[in-house]
Structure formats: structure tokens, C-alpha cells
Amino acid sequence: MSDSRSPYAPHDDRDVVVLDAKGLRALAHPVRVQLLGLLRRNGPSTATLLAARLGLTSGATSYHLRQLSAAGFVEEDEERGNARERWWRSVHRLTSFGDLTLRDREPEATLAFLQSVAVSHAQATQRTLNGLDTMPREWRETLGLGDRLLRLTQQEARQLRNELDEVVARYRPASATGPGEAPEGAEGVQVVLHVLPDLEGSFDSDGRELDQNEDER
């Protein structure tokens, strides 16, 4: 999982990789963000299996896996690998990107990384919607897609983001799979948090919110 701030609270700080310039540039590609997400979500895999999931060639997938490995995000799973095919696993569970100075130093890589994360979130949403018809009704009723336009100061927007992070952190992480860690019936639920400053076109000349943006959908 990748995010600009990693809102999910880990059990151990060693589960988190903090992006530096090298890591940021390595993740400034949507395929690498997707590959890393698949390995973190589904566990170790091969380039061939991952390529089939993403509709890529195994050669292209192997190249991107090697780039992720060089940046320290993935490593070979030697217990599973053999002479014919390598298995890869994620080194960390979460990615943290909170260094504002790094954003200033690497503006192009920052934009590419954040765009890749946004694409990954959109694809996750579409996967859920594609499977909606076959999803158990009880789980369909948990689906929530909404947006609300607020008018906040910078401080209030940061406070809102932090409070949302704290709410998510109270719940069980997806890595809780051992005996007694998750109750029967627990499934993976992806929570996507977006706080998007809207600095143009949000309000009319009288300061009123525009009608098409103010309703929750």
C-alpha cells in the first residue's frame, strides 16, 4: 500500500519504509506502485504471475521488480525461488511520505508518485465495483463512495486529515491474520483517504459553495 502519509497504523515501525529521494524516484511509475501493492496485499509472487494480473509481459514485470529491489522495496524470497523462476516479496507493509523538503527537492518525482498512487486508488475502486454483482449483500451494504466540499483553513484541513488517520488507526490492520487476531468473517477492507485542496472554482463571488459540489454522493 502506498500513500502520501500512510494513514494505517502499523504494529511495528519496522513495517514502514520512509521514502527518500531514491525510493521516491523508484515509485514514480504506476506499474511499480501496482506491483508493490500486489505483493503487500497478496504475499510473495513471481514475475509471471504478477504480469498476468497486470496484463504485462513477464520481461517488463521483471524489470520493474528489479528496480523496486534496487530501491529496497522488494527482495527475493529464496525459500520459494528455484533455478527456473524467482519469487519476490515485499520488504515493508507500508510506505510513508511525509518529508515536505523532499517534495520541494524532487517535484517531478513527487508528482509522478502521487499520480501513480491516485491511479492505484481508482483501479481499486473499479475492481470493487466490477465485483459488486457477485458480492454478498451484507458486504455490498458496507460500500461507501462520497465526497463533501468543506471550507477550511490550512490548519483545519491538517486537523481533519489527522483525525481521519486516528479513526482508521483504531481498526484492525490487514496484516492481522494469525490465530485470534481477527474474528471469523473478517475480510480485507480498503480505506482510501483523500483530502484535496480545491483552490479554484469552489465558491461563487458571494462566498457560497457551488450547488453541484456541496451534496454528498
pLDDT digits (tens, 9 = 90+) for 139-153: 999 999 999 999 999
State the maximum Cα–Cα separation within the chain, in Å, rounded to a whole number. 69
Query: Which position has the grid cell 489527522?
Result: 162
Q: What stretch of H or E contains 17?
A: strand 16-18
Going by their DSSP bridges, the two strands 45-46 and 87-90 should be labelled as antiparallel
**Contact yes or no for 124/145 (Cβ under 8 A):** no
| pTM, rounded to two decimals | 0.76
User: For 105-119, what is each residue's pLDDT tens digit?
Assistant: 999 999 999 999 999
Of 202 and 159, the one with more pLDDT: 159
Query: Which position has the grid cell 482510501?
Result: 192
Give the span between the Cα atoms of 212 and 90, in whole angstroms.
42
**Contact yes or no for 88/75 (Cβ under 8 A):** yes
